[in-house]
Amino acid sequence: MNTQQLILKAKQYPFAIGAGLLSLIIILLIYFRSDSVPELEQRYDYLKRQNTILDSNKINSQGLEADLQKLNTILININERMLNPSDRARNYHYFFSLEQATKVKLKDPRQELVEPFVTPASKKKKNKKDNKEQAFVSNYYIEASGTFPELLELIYQLQVGYFFARITRCVISPDSSADPSKLKIQLNIGFFSKSAN
């Protein structure tokens, strides 16, 4: 068969020739694209996961502005309640207001040392550098004398008071005064503070 006979046969059966050529093109496309099918399936799975995450974020973001405003209000409240170690007059006024409220007699409340606030979780990741604002603990030593209920009231007022406080050491002993109902308390208290200055 020469070329002219092939052209005549093709003219006699145009549909069969067209279908054959189309089949050949499809087979070649499948053959050459078969290498990229796993890659395309991975891409499809990735995009499907991303779409699920975006849908979830869209649902969860409802009311986000109101929640953010609440969090900002809480953060402002927390910052206001942090002790400022350099404002000693305000700090001493706080202690002496506790003295008036609880009827105990305070003896020389004094600031000892200001150290970084460390949580058990941050102890584990010592090597990682945090860009977060560092919080501190201002340690105070307080001696007071009073009756047992008055001393308990002092401890309670420190725990629920304006500043965030943690009592780290508490020693109660008899007072050396003539009144046997009087006790002496020695407290080491850590106040959550914003800066070490």
Q: What is the pLDDT of residue 115?
A: 79
Domain boundaries, the chain: 16-60, 88-193
Q: What is the pLDDT of residue 79?
A: 86
Which of these CATH numbers, 2.60.40.2310, 3.30.70.60, 3.40.30.10, 3.40.50.300, describes 88-193? 3.30.70.60
Output 88 or 154, whichever has higher pLDDT: 154
- Predicted TM-score (pTM) of the model is 0.60
Q: What is the pLDDT of residues 59-89, one digit of tens each?
A: 888 888 899 999 999 999 988 888 888 888 8
Task: State the Rg of the chain over Cα.
Answer: 39
Instruction: State whether the Cα torsion 6-10-16-19 is positive or negative.
Output: positive
